[in-house]
Structure 1
């Protein structure tokens, strides 16, 4: 090959390479940058909360649930919301029918005991007479017919006495149980408040007829309340006794209450397609505004970090089970693996992989991948 041909070939190759570079440059220039939003990884306090709902209820030792022990006309019952003090009558049922039944049972017991005593007296009397008749018969002073009658009367008295000796104690024991129950029922026709509190619910009104065993009223000290909160199964490992709870209610949008978790019920149930356990929390005073049965929103504080490096939760992605973010390097995206810490409401703690003040892409856009050219759509927003 001649020198002229070699030079010509070199120029052709160089020209081709230049053309390719020029085409690639033109292609990049024509490929639009991906428009994205970014946030800055910043250090700030981080509160981690479990958000759920619950209901208000009195603590068991500060609540009285009254059930009717007897059926009868209700003579006295307070209206819901009535404040009572210790010793006030909170329920009175007409005692007449129970009192009459009690008097009848007591009279029946006395009659049974008296029948035994009478049989004993008769047996003693007839036995003495029979002994005398036996002596007279032996002396020939009493004819055989009269003597036979005497012995028959003695046998009859003895049989009756022996029968009553076995029957009456059983009957009296049964009546004693019945009398005790009736006395308890009679006492239950009038219920007194065992503590100062508020009648917060009733199921009967005055002059209505109560049914045996039916709940009649609920009395509680409303300064001693607790929250029964639903804790999703996935959050059980984060909730523990002693944690603070913030309580809000739609009925009082401008108010908050606090409580302390006192117990985690070790049982999971399904409620409205949620697998939940229950957390009990004692409401800290003041508790005014909360009433039993009210549905409330609950935020359980599971962690409170004074200084944590954070990025928005929407900046974190997962691939192959590992978390990563897209950091902004120059005007390109770089896929950056990260180590996550605690999860806040809208931010995530970063334990490794990203330095403070690093810019990260927020959210996901079609075409977002490692190395893609970026156009920041909104100025940097610090992670909050």
Structure 2
């Protein structure tokens, strides 16, 4: 009997414990169903950079940009590089159809060979003619001298009565023949001059053919489009198979060592921006990172129509070892001042309602609407002069349609950062 009572007692205890556990689980589930999941950020204290932000996302560009154009007419066979490739000076970037250029070179070389052959033949003829003329002049000179001496001798004998009239006439005739032959030989020097002029003309023709060959080689070389400098291929401007003409842009190169960000600033901030100011740059290719830069050019002109926001452009140098490329998008903040020992909150936590700035402060498991007195701001943070303390947690991107004073929340804590 006692044993049965003890067993019943134990059973009741177990049943009571199980009932309490089930009730606790049901209460916990009901509690969790009433919680709204939120991301929260921390209020920090430290140095805060006050910045001017660009009105829109800027673009990375290069101070040194080359457009490579065609220097010959031909169909583009293929590109040997891709956009983004690093190229060296003199590297072949693309090939044009070279069949016509090669044919022109073959024709020019054939013409040159024929002209040289004609020149060599004419020069050989001139050399042979010069030898003949020289020989004839030498021979006729000797004959003339001999006839002249014989005539003088016969004339002397004739005066002394030792030679007849017939001998004198014969000596005179021989002299006249020798003299005529000598003059004819001398006259052939004019023939040599004519031949020399012909050789000069042929030599000029050879030079012209040589120039034609050089030009044909240059034209053939232009079917290989080469890089005029070291750089990165930023853009292909035509497609393979298209006809390239002289002066038609084919590719664009940029110098990766001279990159900058071009950004637009609202004219309202014109008085705040100065040359030499530091800039903070964020590039989509490297999320979560900030790059350093410096303002080195400010446009003197404000652009924008009557219905548009009026802005001016700035150029910000890039001081980074990262592999940046022209054409990448970049967000720019220009640092205009620094706040020491500032209290700041993520800008995603601040909302405006009826000209007041509010945050949702997390206290335990509930949120409280907390008005704040905001000061300066940058892209990421807002200075808090009153209303919050360092170490407080606030809701990021609060949805006021779901979150009200006292709403229970399930916070997901997001690590804080510096005021940069």
Return the TM-score normalized by structure 2.
Answer: 0.47
From 161, 165, 177, give the equivalent of 2:199.
161
| Structure exhibiting the larger radius of gyration computed from Cα positions | 2
Matches within 5 A, 1:116-265: 116-135=119-138, 137=140, 139=143, 140=177, 150-163=188-201, 167=204, 171=208, 174-175=211-212, 178=215, 181-182=218-219, 184-186=221-223, 188-189=224-225, 200-218=234-252, 226-230=260-264, 235=270, 238-241=273-276, 243-247=278-282, 255=287, 258-261=290-293, 264-265=296-297
Render the CA deviation track for 1:155-175: whole Å, top value 9, x for unaligned: 31122234556x468637844
What secondary structure sits across from 1:75 in the alignment?
A: strand
From 50, 53, 70, give the equivalent of 1:48.
50
What secondary structure sits across from 2:76 in the alignment?
A: strand
Return the TM-score normalized by structure 1.
Answer: 0.50
- Residue 70 in structure 1 maps to residue 92 in structure 2: no
CA distance in 2, matches of 1:102, 1:262: 54
Partner of 1:92: 95
What secondary structure sits across from 1:49 in the alignment?
A: strand
CA distance in 2, matches of 1:46, 1:263: 20
CA distance in 2, matches of 1:293, 1:105: 46
From 332, 335, 341, give the equivalent of 1:298.
332
1:48 positional shift? 1.7
- Select the structure that is richer in helix: 2
What secondary structure sits across from 1:127 in the alignment?
A: helix
Unaligned runs of 5+ in 2: 1-44, 144-176, 345-374, 387-418
CA distance in 2, matches of 1:134, 1:114: 30
CA distance in 2, matches of 1:107, 1:263: 62
Render the CA deviation track for 1:233-273: whole Å, top value 9, x for unaligned: 86487444472323366xx9x94553332561376345446
Aligned Cα root-mean-square deviation (Å): 5.2
Unaligned runs of 5+ in 1: 1-42, 311-341, 350-355, 358-383
CA contact (8 A) 1:58 1:222 kept: yes
Moved more, 71-80 or 202-211: 71-80
Partner of 1:365: none
Render the CA deviation track for 1:141-196: whole Å, top value 9, x for unaligned: 7869975884453231122234556x46863784476256336425x25779978x
Matches within 5 A, 1:107-118: 107-112=110-115, 115-118=118-121
CA contact (8 A) 1:90 1:192 kept: no
CA distance in 1, matches of 2:296, 2:326: 20
CA contact (8 A) 2:61 2:260 kept: yes
Report the CA distance shift for 1:88/1:133 in structure 2 as closer, same or farther (over 3 A).
closer
Render the CA deviation track for 1:258-307: whole Å, top value 9, x for unaligned: 333256137634544657453133274656xx764355442222332223
From 266, 278, 293, give the equivalent of 2:314.
278
- Select the structure that is richer in strand: 1
CA distance in 1, matches of 2:192, 2:81: 68
Report the CA distance shift for 1:256/1:116 in structure 2 as closer, same or farther (over 3 A).
farther
